[in-house]
C-alpha cells in the first residue's frame, strides 16, 4: 500500500502493482467461494457454513490466495530485473552491447505482456469458476423465490472473504516484512510477490534514465 501511494516510475508503475493486488483479491474470493460451495454440498444442510468454518476457510483462502499471487509477482519481478539490466547496459553509451540491449528489451516486454495476458485470462476463467461456485451457494433460479433464498450462506461467504483478506494483509504480509528484516535471504522471497517497493529498481531507473 505504501509503494502504491508513494512510489512510481516507468518501471515501477502503480498500474502493474495494482493489478497484482487485484489478482490477490480475486484469488482469495475464488478459493473461499470454492470452500463455501463444497461445504454446503457435503453437509447437505440449510445451515451452511458453521462458525468455525468461517475462520478456517478464511485462513486457507489467505494462504492459497497469497501463494497463487506469486505467479503474477514472478512475472512482474522478472520484468523489473530485465528492465534494470537494459538501463544499465544502455548507460554505457558507445560501449554498450547492442545484442544485450535488444535481448533485455525483448525479455522485459515478454514478461510484461505475459503478466497482463495471465491477468486477463484469469479475470475471465477465474471469475467463471467464482460465479459457478457462488451459484452453488445461492442458485440464481431460486434467488427471487420466497423461502428459497440462502442469504445467510451468502453472508457467511462474505465474512469468510474479508477474514481471508484480513489475515493475508494484516498478518501474513507483516510477517513477510518481519522475516525479511530478521533474515536477509527472506527479502528475495518477499520481492517475488511483485508489489513490494523495490528501492534498487527505483534507484536504477532514477540513475540511468537521467531523471530527477
Q: What is the pLDDT of residue 163?
A: 92
> CA-CA distance, 52 to 73, in Å (whole number)?
32
In which band, very low, low, confident or very high, does the pLDDT at 123 lie, cut at 50, 70 and 90? Answer: confident
Which whole-number Å values give the CA distances from 157 to 14, 27, 44, 114, 138, in the listed order?
Answer: 30, 14, 16, 32, 11
Predicted TM-score (pTM) of this structure: 0.77
In which band, very low, low, confident or very high, does the pLDDT at 56 lie, cut at 50, 70 and 90? Answer: confident
> CA-CA distance, 64 to 69, in Å (whole number)?
9
Given a cut of 90, whether residue 5 has pLDDT beyond it is no
Given a cut of 70, whether residue 49 has pLDDT beyond it is no
Given a cut of 70, whether residue 142 has pLDDT beyond it is no
Q: What is the pLDDT of residue 83?
A: 85
* CA 84 from centre of chain: 23
In which band, very low, low, confident or very high, does the pLDDT at 40 lie, cut at 50, 70 and 90? Answer: low
Cell numbers for 144: 427471487
38-47, 70-79, 181-190, 201-210: least confident range: 38-47
Q: What is the pLDDT of residue 110?
A: 94
Given a cut of 90, whether residue 101 has pLDDT beyond it is no
3-17, 45-59, 73-87: least confident range: 45-59
Q: What is the pLDDT of residue 141?
A: 57
Cell numbers for 60: 486457507
Q: What is the DSSP string of 108-140?
A: HHHHHHHHHHHHHHHHHHHHHHHHHHHHHHS-G
SS3 at position 92: coil
Amino acid at each position: 500500500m505504501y509503494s502504491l501511494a508513494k512510489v512510481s516510475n516507468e518501471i515501477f508503475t502503480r498500474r502493474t502493482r495494482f493489478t497484482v493486488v487485484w489478482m490477490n483479491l480475486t484469488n482469495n474470493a475464488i478459493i473461499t467461494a470454492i470452500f463455501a460451495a463444497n461445504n454446503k454440498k457435503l453437509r447437505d444442510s440449510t445451515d451452511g457454513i458453521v462458525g468455525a468454518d468461517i475462520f478456517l476457510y478464511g485462513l486457507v483462502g489467505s494462504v492459497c490466495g497469497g501463494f497463487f499471487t506469486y505467479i503474477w509477482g514472478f512475472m512482474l519481478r522478472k520484468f523489473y530485473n530485465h528492465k534494470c539490466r537494459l538501463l544499465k547496459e544502455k548507460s554505457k553509451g558507445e560501449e554498450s552491447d547492442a545484442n544485450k540491449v535488444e535481448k533485455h528489451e525483448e525479455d522485459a516486454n515478454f514478461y510484461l505482456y505475459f503478466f497482463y495476458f495471465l491477468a486477463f485470462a484469469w479475470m475471465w476463467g477465474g471469475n467463471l469458476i467464482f460465479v459457478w461456485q457462488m451459484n452453488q451457494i445461492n442458485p440464481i433460479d431460486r434467488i427471487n423465490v420466497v423461502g428459497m433464498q440462502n442469504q445467510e450462506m451468502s453472508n457467511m461467504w462474505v465474512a469468510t472473504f474479508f477474514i481471508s483478506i484480513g489475515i493475508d494483509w494484516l498478518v501474513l504480509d507483516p510477517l513477510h516484512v518481519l522475516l525479511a528484516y530478521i533474515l536477509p535471504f527472506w527479502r528475495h522471497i518477499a520481492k517475488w510477490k511483485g508489489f513490494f517497493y523495490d528501492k534498487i529498481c527505483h534507484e536504477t531507473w532514477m540513475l540511468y534514465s537521467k531523471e530527477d
